[in-house]
């Protein structure tokens, strides 16, 4: 083994892996948690090298990878395929995988079986599921097998047909109180963190202050313990989705389209390949 390779391997070993315990410590000392979605090996490798704390293999894969209108069609097998691709790339980040619609609702035994399949077949570190009181039994049963669980409240896209729209949730007192109660239930049940999606910032801040576990927001303001964004949205690969909370860090739609356009014209004009680009 070359000296350089040895050094690289030692560095890999030294790098402190993010665990659920590390996230709790981060909350305690006020360090914000950065989480982002990924669904494939190559992108997961880049974002792990960038130093992301948590990678979510979200069921948003149903939208951004498969082109479905909602998150409902993605299957457990498809989530496992995405998750195992991500896991092969990751050295440092905590990898959390969404339990897809229909794999846990209403039956805690099925929830446990689904979570076990994800952990066994993909090598993921934790699972995430949507809902409060109604999934308490499933959360407890999954936890009884030693599988860490992340909760998800507020706008829960798997219930889109119940809500009818993707607008901000829990603006009214009754729904806000229910959300606070659900957050308490999830913490008490043993969740290691909770995602709050698209709710008023004041409500999210209140929940984050009250809970000991980290609260990660998406469209929930800056008073929570961390942020999550869908990678394709923040990199500007998707263009049609533009909620107020989304900050775009790149315009990859434009960059990729431009680069592919240049390639097409180089091929058509016979500029590519040139003398150096062949054998």
Which residues are the active-site residues? 197
90 binds ligand KIV (CB under 6 A): no
Strands (E), 23-172: 33-37, 54-57, 94-98, 126-128, 149-154
CA atoms within 13 A on the CB side of 88: 11
Q: Which neighbouring-strand residues pair with 84? A: none
Distance CA 247, CA 108 (A): 37
60 binds ligand KIV (CB under 6 A): yes
Q: Based on CB atoms, which residue is closest to ligand KIV, 27 or 198?
A: 198
Distance CA 176, CA 182 (A): 10
Q: Which stretch binds ligand KIV (CB under 6 A): 55-63, 107-115, 119-127, 238-246?
A: 55-63
Site string for ligand KIV, 176-205 (x = CB under 6 A): -------------------x-x--------
Looking at 48, 59, 187, 225, which residue binds ligand KIV (CB under 6 A)? 59
- Contacts to ligand KIV from residues 24-53, by CB under 6 A: 37
Core vs surface per residue 259-279: b (16+ CB within 10 A) or e = eeeeeeeeeeeeeeeeeeeee
> Could you tell me the smallest distance in angstroms from the CB atom of residue 140 to ligand KIV?
21
Q: Which residue has the tokens 């599921």?
A: 129
Size of the site for ligand KIV (CB under 6 A): 11
85 binds ligand KIV (CB under 6 A): no
215 binds ligand KIV (CB under 6 A): no
Q: What is the dihedral of CA 199, 201, 202, 205, to 10 degrees?
A: 100
Q: Which stretch binds ligand KIV (CB under 6 A): 58-66, 159-167, 256-264, 265-273?
A: 58-66
Cβ neighbours of 211 (radius 10 Å): 20
What letter would DSSP give residue 103?
Answer: S
149 binds ligand KIV (CB under 6 A): no
Token readout for 180 is: 């606070």
Q: Which stretch binds ligand KIV (CB under 6 A): 54-62, 75-83, 119-127, 260-268?
A: 54-62
**SS3 state of residue 181:** helix
147 binds ligand KIV (CB under 6 A): no
Q: Which residues bind ligand KIV (CB under 6 A)?
A: 37, 56, 58-60, 98, 195, 197, 218, 228, 230
């Amino acid at each position: 083994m070359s000296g350089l390779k040895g050094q690289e391997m030692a560095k890999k070993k030294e790098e402190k892996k993010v665990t659920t315990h590390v996230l709790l410590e981060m909350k305690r000392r006020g360090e914000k948690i950065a989480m982002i979605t990924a669904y494939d090996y190559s992108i997961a490798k880049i974002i792990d090298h960038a130093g992301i704390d948590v990678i979510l293999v979200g069921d948003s894969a149903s939208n951004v990878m498969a082109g479905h209108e909602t998150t409902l069609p993605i299957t457990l097998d498809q989530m496992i395929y995405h998750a195992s691709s991500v896991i092969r790339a990751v050295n440092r980040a905590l990898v959390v995988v969404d339990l897809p619609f229909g794999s846990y609702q209403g039956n805690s035994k099925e929830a446990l079986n689904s979570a076990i399949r994800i952990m066994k077949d993909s090598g993921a570190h934790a699972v995430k599921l949507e809902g409060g009181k109604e999934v308490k039994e499933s959360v407890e049963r999954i936890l009884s097998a030693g599988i860490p669980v992340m909760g998800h409240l507020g706008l829960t896209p798997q219930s889109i047909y119940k809500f009818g729209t993707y607008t901000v949730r829990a603006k009214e007192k009754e729904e806000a109180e229910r959300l606070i109660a659900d957050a308490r239930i999830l913490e008490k049940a043993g969740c290691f963190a909770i995602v709050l999606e698209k709710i008023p910032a004041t409500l999210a801040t209140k929940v984050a202050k009250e809970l000991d576990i980290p609260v990660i927001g998406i469209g929930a303001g800056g008073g929570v313990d961390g942020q999550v964004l869908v990678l394709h949205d923040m990199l500007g690969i998707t263009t049609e989705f533009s909620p107020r909370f989304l900050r775009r860090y790149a315009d990859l739609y434009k960059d990729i389209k431009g680069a592919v356009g240049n390639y097409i014209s180089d091929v058509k004009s016979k500029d590519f390949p040139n003398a150096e680009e062949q054998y």
